[in-house]
Amino acid sequence: MKVHKMILSHLKKLDYVLIASVLFLSSFGLLMVYSAGYPLGYMKYHDGSYFFMKQLQWLLIGLTFFSAAVFFPYKAYSKLIRFLVKLSFLLLILVLLPGIGMEKNNSQRWIQLGSLMIQPSEAVKLVMVIYFAYVYAKKQRYIADFGKGVMPPLIILAAVFFLILKQPDLGT
């Protein structure tokens, strides 16, 4: 019963306008993929809804992660951020290694895990946002001191940029 009350309390605090906006934009994007991808899907795969179904699949996976993130206490990120930054660097380095990183369109930015291909640079963007939020929340007292408050996180970001440019993944 206590968990039930906690969940209801948490649900009352959500920003439903923001959630509705995300769902609306995701649905609109899905419609655009269907509209734009129908001819190519039909010509290439004999299925006009091929790209729509792929996009829908990833949207459902994303919504699952989104739903889980809604209930994940944001303060717990402070305990995970060091691990997440180290994992980000590890994945960005692994992408560059022959045999681990997959090359597509003259860029080596994918890691294949069975039938699933992941692009670590996409997850790293989110990790960097969380990292900067964590660091700057802790450094409020000396945020105006460039050398102490601003430079250390920028060095981390520059290293991430360098690894992403080595792929190259200029879209990220």
* pLDDT tens for each residue of 127-139: 999 999 998 888 7
- Is residue 53 pLDDT above 90, yes or no? yes
DSSP letter at 62 equals H
- The token duo for 94 is 């692994």
Q: Where are the domains of the chain?
A: 2-71, 74-166
> 110 Cβ partners below 8 Å, 6+ apart?
95, 101, 102, 103, 104, 117, 118, 119
Could you tell me the pLDDT band of residue 142, with boundaries at 50, 70 and 90? confident
Phi and psi angles of residue 102, each rounded to the nearest 5 degrees, phi first = -100, 135
pLDDT tens string 23-47 = 999 999 999 999 999 999 999 999 9
The H-assigned helical ranges of the chain are: 2-12, 16-45, 50-71, 77-96, 120-138, 151-166
Residue 168: asked if its preceding bond is cis (omega within 30°), the reply is: yes
pLDDT for the residue numbered 87 = 96
pLDDT in tens, 71-127: 888 788 888 999 999 999 999 999 988 888 888 877 888 888 877 788 999 899 999
What is the C-alpha separation between 93 and 161, in angstroms, rounded?
12
